[in-house]
Amino acid sequence: MLTLRGLTKRYGEKTVVDDLTLEVAPGKVTGFLGPNGAGKTTTMRMITGLDRPTSGTALISGKPYAGLGRPLRTVGSLLDARATHPRRTAHQHLLAMARSNGIPARRVPEVLGAVGLTDVAGRRAGTFSLGMAQRLGIAAALLGDPEVLLLDEPVNGLDPDGVLWVRTFLRSLAAEGRTVFLSSHLMSEMELTADRLVVIGQGRLLADGPVADVVAAGTRRSVRVRGPQHGGLAALADRLAREGAEVDSPAPGELDVSGVPLERVGDLAHEAHVHLYELRAVEASLEEAYMRLTSESVEYARKRRTDVEAGV
């Protein structure tokens, strides 16, 4: 269990994490989302004692990280896949970590095997690709057989097989009753992996709940209409608007309708004798929900072309 209460971090006048309060429960994969600069990595660094909060608390199984006698036995973390001594082999790196936390040496080959690095255990970490470094970082997080796992962008650099492996592996760890807290910018992968989502922007909590609830809250249900009769579609749009629908035309011959059920759109099209090629409900996506939720919280937003040209 992770418990954050009023967690805040300021650097001078800049507030990076702003009064963040949440609980991350065991038995689930909890996804941690937010734009670049939202405060995700800083939050994880405060949880693991690498940064000191300006105010508030971060507890792991009821204790601050500094209060854990042998922290790797309680919490495993991957915050930077390249945070290894480049001249140490994978085996040496993990063995040093194991000895510092009273973990039996036999765990080293076990976790190397679990992440698929047995054949390169004797290679220096500095020669690893990013994907291999990610696997070594996950092995280090698993070394103490911890009940809590914090992983910051663990699928960066992995090929599709590696991404599928991480997804399946993390879900199996959560099924064992562990707490899995995972950040990623890959919306499609997060939608497949996470049971619950926490979304932050500019350090503040924007959403917290099951994936389906966050997607539903951040998107509007719509109906896509497409047909050859542009005049008929324009008339249909007018009738839908009179019934309180919001109607957009993303392209000639297309309507995007929200606020009216699909069945009613079909009935009105039939009554107006409008020939259709397509009438379907548009499925909500995590990507769309995320973009709506964070639209006002993007710190590094792309400037408009006119602003750039004007030197603004």
Note the pLDDT tens digit of each residue in 214-243. 887 776 678 999 999 999 999 999 999 999
Return the H-helix or E-strand segment holding 127: none
% of the chain residues with pLDDT over 90: 75
| DSSP annotation of 250 | S
Model pLDDT, residue 164:
92
Closest residue by Cα to residue 42 from 65, 67, 64, 10:
10
pLDDT value, residue 219: 67
Say which residue, 265 or 284, is predicted with more confidence.
Answer: 265
**Residue 249 to residues 113, 117, 232: CA-CA distances in angstroms?**
54, 52, 13
Per-residue pLDDT, 302: 53
* Secondary structure (H, E, C), 86-145: CCCEHHHHHHHHHHHCCCCCCHHHHHHHHCCCHHHCCCEHHHCCHHHHHHHHHHHHHCCC
CA torsion sign, 105 to 106 to 107 to 110? Answer: positive
Torsions phi, psi for 96 (to 5 deg): -65, -40
Q: CATH fold of 2-217, please?
A: Rossmann fold (3.40.50)
- Between β-strands 278-282 and 222-226, what pairing exists: parallel, antiparallel or unpaired? antiparallel
Residue spans of beta strands (DSSP E) within 125-193: 148-152, 179-183
Predicted confidence (pLDDT) at residue 18 exceeds the cutoff of 70: yes
Instruction: State residue 305's pLDDT score.
Output: 41
The Cα-based distances of 55 to 17, 48, 94 in angstroms read: 10, 15, 34
> Is it the case that residue 116 has pLDDT exceeding 60?
yes
pLDDT of residue 309 exceeding 60 = no
Strands 196-201 and 28-33: parallel
Q: Which pairs with CB-CB distance under 8 Å and at least 24 residues apart come from 241-245?
A: 243/268
pLDDT of residue 258: 87
For the chain, the residue count is 312
| pLDDT score at 146 | 95
Where does the chain hold its CATH 3.40.50.300 domain(s)? 2-217
Task: Determine the pLDDT at residue 299.
Answer: 61
Query: pLDDT band at residue 304, thresholds of 50, 70 and 90?
Result: very low
Residue 87 has pLDDT above 50, yes or no: yes
Cα separation, 218 vs 250, whole angstroms: 20
Distance from C-alpha of 115 to C-alpha of 7, rounded to nearest angstrom: 33
Which of the four CATH numbers 1.10.10.10, 3.30.420.40, 3.30.70.600, 3.40.309.10 does domain 220-283 have? 3.30.70.600
Q: Boundaries of CATH 3.30.70.600 in the chain? A: 220-283
Q: Which two tokens stand for residue 94?
A: 């993990």
**Do residues 64 and 51 make contact, with C-beta atoms less than 8 angstroms apart?**
no
pLDDT digits (tens, 9 = 90+) for 141-197: 999 999 999 999 998 888 888 899 999 999 999 999 999 999 988 888 898 999 999
